[in-house]
């Protein structure tokens, strides 16, 4: 299932940045970002999951790719369903581990997707994020 994402970019009003929000098919935003580095609770949880699983060992500290591909580029084309399938099953022959026995990853896979999609869309401007204050 491919979802159309509408990215409303933050506009600057008198020096105050409005949140950037990507909207999926339903009403719930996929992520909300303020100033490029502050994110909603779920997206922050995705960042924590990325850290806990240490995906950066292979995909780079800024998701830019190392032995594994750049997830900035991958998530421009990979559907959410394919993302989930790749994580669950891995691609063992090519060096991507399966995460289906990792509860932390599987229970937070939607949040992980939201975080990485925000990075790929350019709405989140650096890997390290904090919660919206
Ligand atoms: C041990 C190294 C390693 C780790 C750790 C790892 N990956 Fe990967 N990953 C890879 C490699 C290598 C590929 C490319 C597989 C291929 O060529 O099809 C890949 C592919 C992927 C893809 C598919 C990219 C595409 O363009 O199809 C996604 C999404 C992904 N990884 C996400 C993650 C996430 C999220 C984590 C952490 C939970 C993670 N990976 C941890 C090595 C790793």
Distance 64 CA to ligand 1 centre (A): 12
Q: pLDDT per residue over 108-117, tens digit each?
A: 999 999 999 9
Closest CA to 112 of 67, 59, 66, 35: 59
> Tokens 């709405």 — which residue?
123
Residues 6+ apart with CB under 8 A from 67: 58, 95
Distance 85 CA to ligand 1 centre (A): 11
Our mutation pick for probing the ligand 1 site, out of 48, 54, 57, 58, counting the most ligand atoms within 8 A of Cβ, is: 58
Q: What is the pLDDT of residue 22?
A: 79
**If the chain, 133 residues long, is cut into consecutive pieces of 10 residues, what is the mean pLDDT of each piece?**
40 54 76 98 98 98 98 98 98 97 98 98 98 94
Our mutation pick for probing the ligand 1 site, out of 63, 96, 114, counting the most ligand atoms within 8 A of Cβ, is: 96
Q: What is the pLDDT of residue 45?
A: 98
CA–CA distance, 122 with 27 (Å, rounded to integer): 21
Q: Is 3 buried (19+), middle (13-18) or exposed (0-12) by CB count in 10 A?
A: middle
């Amino acid at each position: 299932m491919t979802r159309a994402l509408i990215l409303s970019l933050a506009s600057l009003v008198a020096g105050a940045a409005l949140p950037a929000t990507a909207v999926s098919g339903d009403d719930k935003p996929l992520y909300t970002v303020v100033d490029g580095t502050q994110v909603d609770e779920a997206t922050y949880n995705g960042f924590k999951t990325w850290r806990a699983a240490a995906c950066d060992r292979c995909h780079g500290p800024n998701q830019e790719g190392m032995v594994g591909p750049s997830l900035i580029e991958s998530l421009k084309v990979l559907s959410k369903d394919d993302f989930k399938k790749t994580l669950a099953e891995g691609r063992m022959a090519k060096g991507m581990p399966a995460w289906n026995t990792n509860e932390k990853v599987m229970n937070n896979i939607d949040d992980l997707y939201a975080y990485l999609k925000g990075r790929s869309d350019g709405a989140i401007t650096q890997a390290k994020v904090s919660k919206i204050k």
